[in-house]
Structures are given as C-alpha cells and as structure tokens.
Amino acid sequence: MSTTVGLISLGCAKNLIDSEVMIGHLAQAGMSLTPDPELADVLIINTCSFIDMAKQESIDAIFGAVKDRTADPDRSNQKIIVAGCLSQRFAKDLPGIMPEVDAFIGLDQITKVAPIIENLLGKNNASEVTKDEGPAATEDPRDFVTLKPKYVPDYTTPRFRLTPDHFAYVKIAEGCNHTCTFCIIPQIRGKHRSRTQDSVVREVEALVKSGVREINLISQDTTYFGMDQWEGERPKPSSPVDSTRGESLSTLLREINKIEGDFWVRLLYTHPAHWSDELITTIAECDKVAKYVDIPLQHISDRMLTAMKRVTSGDYIRDLLRRMRAGIPGLGIRTTFIVGFPGETEEDFQELLEFIEEFRFERAGVFQYSKEEGTRAYKMDGQLHHKTRSSRWSRAMAALQRIASETNQAQVGKSVRVLVEQPGIARTEWDAPEIDGSVHVDEAIPVGQFAHVTIGDWRGYDLVAAR
C-alpha cells in the first residue's frame, strides 16, 4: 500500500506555493494524499512565523496534531513533520522544544519531502537523506533544515495547485534583500533570487492553457524581479528599475501580456523603492494587467520610515502615488500600515491619519507592531504600551473603514468586469483573492468566468450587483 500523507498549510500565498510544491513531489513519488489528518500515515504542517499571531497559530496546529495523535490509538504510528518558516526560523531550538515531532524540514527541503518521509518510515537508508549544504542547525537526526535557503522554483517544478481552477499564484522570486527593522523574512528566506523571465512566462502560459483566468504574481518583493541577475554591479535595494539593463518586472509583464487567452494578471507585494515611470507606463499599456497594485507602505512619517529602514521618504511616497494615479487610469491601490512601532509619537500617527485621508486608498489594512525576536526593532528603545498600539490601530481602522464605505458607495451605478469566484460571489480587478472584498452576483453566472455587472448596492466591504 502507498503511503498516505496529509498536509496543513498555514500562512500566506507564498507559503501555499511551497505546500503545492511538496504535494507535487509526493504525488510524483506515488504517495496518496488525504484531506483528513486522522487518515494520514504522515502529517505535514507547513508553518508561518512572520508575526506573533502567525507563530501562535503554527504552534497550536503542531501541538493540536500531537494531542490528536496521542488520543487516537489508530494514529499512534503517525509521523508528524513540521515544515516552513517556523522550522527555518527556529531550527536550532525546535528539536529540543518539540520532541514529539518526528522531523523538521526547511525551505530548501520542500522538493525532498518524499525521501525524507521514506526515511521516517524506514523505507530507505537514513544516510541517503542528507542536508544540501551548510552546517547542521542541530545534531538531532530529525533536523533536515539548512541554514541559508537557496532554492527557487522553476516552471518544471512538480506542483499540485490547491487554489480553485480559475486562479493561481505564481512565485517569481524567493527571498528579500531589504533590511526592514521590523521584518524577520530575509533571515528566514534568504537573499532575493529571481526566476528567469522565460521560466515565469512558460508557467503562466501553461496555467492559462489549463483554464486559469487570474494569475497572481507574488514574491517578497516583486518589483525587484530580475535586478539580482543584471550583469555588473547589482542595484541597491533603493534603486528604481531600469529594464534596459536586463529583465525586470516591466519586461516580464509585457511578455505575459502577449500570451493568448482571456485572463488578467495581478501584481502583489511591490516595494515603493523600486517603482519607476516605466513600470507605471507598462501597467497602463498592458490590457491584461489588472489595474490593481499591492504596495505596502508601512508609514508616511519620515521618522518612522527611517527607523523602519524603508529606504523611502514621505515626500517620495506621496510623489510616487500621484504619478501612479495620473499614469494608470482606474487604478486601485492596496496598502498596509504598521502602527505602534517603537518611538512612534502621536504626531507621527496624526501624520499617518492625514495621509490616509488625503490619498483615500481603495483597499488598505493596518497591523499593530509585532515585536519579533531577531529583528533590529526588537531591541529598540521606545517600545509602546500595548494599549497605545491597540488604540492607534482602532483609530486608523475606523478611518479606513469609513473611506472603504465611501469608495463602495461611489461604485453604485457603475458597470464593472468581475471574475466569478463561487456561485453568487465574484471579484473585481480591485479585489485580490482571500484578501479584499467581493461582489454578490447572480448565481447563474458560471464559476471561473468573467462577466460584466452593474453595481446596485453595497454592504460593508462588499458590493452587490443589480438584478
């Protein structure tokens, strides 16, 4: 009988692709997959550890699986593997903290999960499963984590998509070269490493031919795509993109726009430092590129941007946003902010509120600062009381919710193109999957198809099509 594997995938879309790659390799190895953890010979938990809430969710999932295994005699021989960012981030600590876990694998091991499972089940020699490179995180035989990830997927990488048939995520790069003081991701996922443009285009072509109607381009910093491959001196993280020097996000979008088929491509996780007039023009001119941009700004106060090491200034951000709005008609901008960062004064926060009121983002969210061990901000002076962070979050969210209501009210009477997500539920160009709002539409419109509807009403963050 083949080995049966279950998988619990936590965290962001980037993590979801890692899960899809693992499942693809398991299927290639002839292993069976099950959505029911209790039926699995091996249960993989692909974890996230970006902020405290994500870490806690991952830890709860791990100990929940251990508890369920202990309570069910039929699962006594089940193996539990912890994968993903939590394993990578705490490689030295987890084997000692979690003796019940049978194996820990890092980000470079997602393509080697099948032989690791065979090793756990005694189906091959333990010496056949080794770490790729680098010193061992621990001497524990359950630890397969390499400390400096180098892996990046290709269009030939086996993958089993977990998203609905009509949309897919495409990871165009891995890692990040920025040193934002609040963020642990570069330490977890390593330096930025782009795929080749040809590799991405080939994957998108295959997805479109299979019926995918929405391509979501993702990485830690999509605007840095290709820049790490330029010949000569690499540009600094704060440099704007000049595609005449080589592949870039602009050249990639133009190549994707040439692909035949009825689809749109969405741009997620851009960094403001790398935007250029060329990229703005590219988005405006490419009819298959959704007029939607995800650009986390984090703050607008120069003091906070400097403390966060965002390599941008308030004036730069304001000017960029004005150029984006002027250059891309009908643009919807999604952004996120951090409130309660160490040293943030009431004056800094008021500047952020005024900025939110001035630019009236179509889609936006706010995070309370999360104090993450291993980041530069962890040891900064001026850590704010949790009640101050919470109060500022509530005030910022109230402003964003009011603006969202006014934005939706302004959509009433307009005709918009939507992609049907499930019976009676669709999304506009301004709505990324699993993040933004929805449009309530006629249930007779087929799932996975585009349609034009007229907006007749709105409810909270969602729109309602006229009947």
Question: How would residue 50 be classed by pLDDT, with cut points 50, 70 and 90?
Answer: confident
User: 3-class DSSP state for residue 222?
Assistant: helix
Find the angle CA(272)-CA(276)-CA(279) to the nearest 5 degrees.
105
pLDDT digits (tens, 9 = 90+) for 192-212: 999 999 999 999 999 999 999
Give Cβ neighbours of residue 287 (< 8 Å, ≥ 6 apart): 257
pTM for this prediction: 0.92
What the block records as the tokens of 121 is: 């089940």
pLDDT value at residue 134? 43
Work out the average pLDDT over 316-333. Answer: 98
Are 146 and 106 contacting, i.e. CB atoms less than 8 angstroms apart? yes
Question: How would residue 132 be classed by pLDDT, with cut points 50, 70 and 90?
Answer: low
pLDDT of 125 over the 70 cut = no
pLDDT of 391 over the 50 cut = yes
The residue ranking higher by pLDDT, 53 or 290, is 290
Least confident of 116-125, 203-212, 303-312, 411-420: 116-125
pLDDT value at residue 135? 45
Integer Cα distance of 314 and 273 in angstroms: 12
pLDDT digits (tens, 9 = 90+) for 392-416: 999 999 999 999 999 999 999 999 9
pLDDT value at residue 327? 98
Work out the average pLDDT over 417-444. Answer: 97
pLDDT value at residue 400? 97
Q: Are strands 462-465 and 450-459 parallel, antiparallel or unpaired?
A: antiparallel
pLDDT value at residue 450? 98
pLDDT value at residue 338? 98
Question: How would residue 52 be classed by pLDDT, with cut points 50, 70 and 90?
Answer: confident
pLDDT of 126 over the 50 cut = no
- The mean pLDDT of the chain is 92
Length reported for the chain: 467
pLDDT of 236 over the 70 cut = no
